[in-house]
Structure 1
Amino acid sequence: MYNDENNLYNYTYRKDGSELSHQRETIRPGGQQPGSQGPEIIEVKPVKKNRLGLKITALALSCALLGGAAGGGAVWAASHYGGGNESEINVSSRPATQVALRNVDGKTAMSDAEVYAANVNSVVSIRTSATAGYNFYRQPVETASAGSGFVLSKDGYILTNYHVVKGAETVTVTMYNGDEFPAQYIGGEEDYDIAVIKVEAENLQPVTLGDSGTLNVGDHVLAIGNPLGELTFSMSGGMVSCVDRAINVDGTPFNMIQTDTSINPGNSGGPLFNQYGEVVGIVSAKYSQSSNGTTVEGLGFAIPMNDVFSMVKDIMANGYVSNRAYLGITPQTMTESWAAQFHYDVTSGVFINYVEPDSAADKAGLKMGDVITKVDDTAVKSVEDLNLAKKKYSAGDSATLEVYRPDGTVTVEITWGAAPKEDQAAQQQETQQYPGNRNDNSGNGGYYGNPFEDLFRYFYG
């Protein structure tokens, strides 16, 4: 067993550790018995103080002396106390590896160490706090959480996950060199789980954004972040396990990069790098448990950079996503019971409960009672399917909808509208004023969804 005294571990074969007493003990090398002739007796006393620093220094000095005595490499020889047998310990003389600080140019493949050195100053640790109600004595209950992010511009714009900062009353950003800044929430998009915050700083080191569309299954990728909110600026590596993986979280569909890179609470919002040191994704979720409770490993997910790049620029410029595709309907997933109630021949799709006047849907001729079954070549069987298909478009883009009506199926040409600014403002107000609990660092917050209910958990930091 191991006995811990003053932060030092001493090994003993006895379970109760009885031989590690505070009495003086004598050790006679070579197995000699008391009273026999032999080398000098070495007296051992229990360690009373934490001498770890001294031991490390002694070890370092010993290694240096050994290296010098052997002419840079070699062999240290010594005799056993009574045996006279020579034992050799080989010590490497290889010098420490020097990591080249390279610029990310999108053309030069880099070692993992070079990717870290080139980007660690662009990664940030994010801490948030909020008031989550009041206790029995009417005192406010404070919650705190941690996440990650990365610098987009020299003047302090930072990208992270929406769920990391949702509901936060204060947001604090810490740089790799230890500098801390209060951050302001600029805007975000919950459906894509992205948020932009800003600190008042100059000459920060921004990342280089890459093309996530060039990723292939098997490509090497790296994540830098703050697992557990304590192991700050840690890097983990793996490969791309799948591209364009569709998952559903809390009813919100996401198109993700799947990776076996180690991802833990605290990594949320951090960058996913390719082998050229470019950011190709935003670390966001992890598949940690199957429906029967089986624990699984190696299933992490990141938001592809290409899917959100235009929205990020829009948020930086306007404070919200002004070009998000908008249809202008109140949707309902079509079911067999609905089909029986309305005597419809289709049992899946998106049933239109209401059409907003002067909306894109209204201008295209859609009406209450229509059932959308396809968007261009994408089949639509539920509201989640429609939302996922809609993410491929921006305001002003055109699409063809296949629509079921009791008198027959028709095709409708539609030009997507833009989400009303008041909807974006309401979302921002909610983010700034109401705790979201998805970034609750206690581990009790839930962000689960179908069809992977209780499987995917959005990391609250």
Structure 2
Amino acid sequence: MIKRICIMLLVTFFMPVSAGAYPYNQQHTFQAQLETARANTTIVTAYYTSRFEGTRIQGIGTGTLVGDGLLLTNAHVVGSNTGALHIDVTTYDNVVHDGTLLRIDRSVDLALIRIDSAADGFALSGTQIYPGMQVMTVGQPQGLAHWSFSEGAIVDISRSCIMTSGERWTAIMTDAQSIHGNSGGPLINDRGKLVGIMRGAAEGYSFAIPIEGVREFLQ
């Protein structure tokens, strides 16, 4: 059977889709996981300073803490530019940390950053994912007062996607709605464990880098 292919438009951030964010105090399936999830999710802002352009924001996205002061985000959030890179990482308690870029791999769209944080971070899931599994995304959507907590289900565990650059990659496809600025945020299961890193959205669906790719990058 020929797999259906999704075509994604992803330049720097997610495509805007209808808002799936709601305030933290509302009732929902993942209520028990929200306290931990929000504490392990950050805002990532990347600045570049050059002699010709001065200092400008290169990208704003979401970060996913994985323990020992380490966090993951998308490589496209950090960007690629000439000049000096500076990264601000804002935790849920509104503390701004200086971030140090440790590693970046644009082929898998992942970046690893270190901050001074004692947060436990998300545990990486070791269980098999499947279509219909309930999942949640967490992030700091641009232009909204509240962090976003969007629930949904996995639609496909290995959706083949084509970027506008022509690059192909295999994604977890979910119907959990993502919002502009959620790039690099966590996709978690109903036990609060990490099953993927959000990367893009199109046609009312969101797409995440599978946990296997995340493990390979971290190792």
* TM-score after normalising by structure 1: 0.39
Counterpart amino acid of 1:124? T
2:79 to 166, 171, 181: 166
2:120 partner SS: coil
Residues 133 and 265 of structure 1, relative CA distance in 2, 3 Å threshold: farther
Partner of 2:208: 302
| Cα deviation code 1:373-423 (max 9, x no counterpart) | xxxxxxxxxxxxxxxxxxxxxxxxxxxxxxxxxxxxxxxxxxxxxxxxxxx
**1:286 aligned onto 2:201:** yes
* Displacement of 1:157: 0.8
Distance in 2 (CA, whole Å) between partners of 1:170 and 1:311 is: 22
Counterpart amino acid of 1:152? V
Residues 246 and 211 of structure 1, relative CA distance in 2, 3 Å threshold: farther
1:180 to 79, 88, 96: 96
Which consecutive segments of 4 or more residues in structure 1 shift more than 6 A? none
Counterpart amino acid of 2:30? D
**1:312 aligned onto 2:213:** no
**1:156 aligned onto 2:69:** yes
Partner of 2:18: none
| Cα deviation code 1:293-334 (max 9, x no counterpart) | xxx3x2210010112302212xxxxxxxxxxxxxxxxxxxxx
Distance in 1 (CA, whole Å) between partners of 2:66 and 2:116 is: 13
Partner of 2:170: 255
Counterpart amino acid of 2:141? P
Distance in 2 (CA, whole Å) between partners of 1:200 and 1:281 is: 24
Counterpart amino acid of 1:166? G
Partner of 1:17: none
2:184 to 242, 260, 269: 269
* Displacement of 1:131: 4.4
Counterpart contact for 1:146–1:229, Cα < 8 Å: no
Partner of 2:16: none
Residues 182 and 275 of structure 1, relative CA distance in 2, 3 Å threshold: same
* Displacement of 1:270: 0.2
Q: More displaced, 178-187 or 222-231?
A: 222-231
Distance in 2 (CA, whole Å) between partners of 1:132 and 1:120 is: 34
1:208 partner SS: coil
* Displacement of 1:173: 0.5
1:243 to 150, 157, 160: 157
1:142 to 28, 53, 56: 56
1:228 partner SS: coil
**1:195 aligned onto 2:111:** yes
* Displacement of 1:114: 0.8
| Cα deviation code 1:199-233 (max 9, x no counterpart) | 133x2221111136x11111111000011265453
1:191 partner SS: coil
Root-mean-square deviation over aligned CA pairs: 2.4
Question: Higher strand share goes to which structure?
Answer: 2
* Displacement of 1:163: 0.7
Distance in 2 (CA, whole Å) between partners of 1:131 and 1:261 is: 36
Question: Higher helix share goes to which structure?
Answer: 1
Distance in 2 (CA, whole Å) between partners of 1:151 and 1:300 is: 20
Residues 280 and 232 of structure 1, relative CA distance in 2, 3 Å threshold: same
2:142 partner SS: helix
Distance in 2 (CA, whole Å) between partners of 1:208 and 1:172 is: 23
Counterpart contact for 1:128–1:144, Cα < 8 Å: yes
1:216 to 126, 130, 133: 130
Q: How many residues align?
A: 191
1:227 partner SS: coil
Counterpart contact for 2:73–2:110, Cα < 8 Å: yes
Counterpart contact for 2:158–2:172, Cα < 8 Å: yes
2:34 partner SS: helix
**1:119 aligned onto 2:37:** yes
Distance in 2 (CA, whole Å) between partners of 1:251 and 1:144 is: 23
Distance in 1 (CA, whole Å) between partners of 2:51 and 2:107 is: 26
Residues 173 and 179 of structure 1, relative CA distance in 2, 3 Å threshold: same
Counterpart contact for 1:130–1:167, Cα < 8 Å: no
Larger Rg: 1
Distance in 2 (CA, whole Å) between partners of 1:127 and 1:144 is: 8
* Displacement of 1:142: 2.2
* TM-score after normalising by structure 2: 0.79
Distance in 1 (CA, whole Å) between partners of 2:55 and 2:40 is: 33
Counterpart contact for 2:33–2:191, Cα < 8 Å: yes
Distance in 2 (CA, whole Å) between partners of 1:278 and 1:199 is: 21
1:128 partner SS: strand
Instruction: Give the unaligned 5+ runs of structure 1.
Output: 1-96, 100-109, 288-295, 314-461
Partner of 2:142: 228
2:102 partner SS: strand
Percent identity of paired positions between Structure 1 and Structure 2: 26
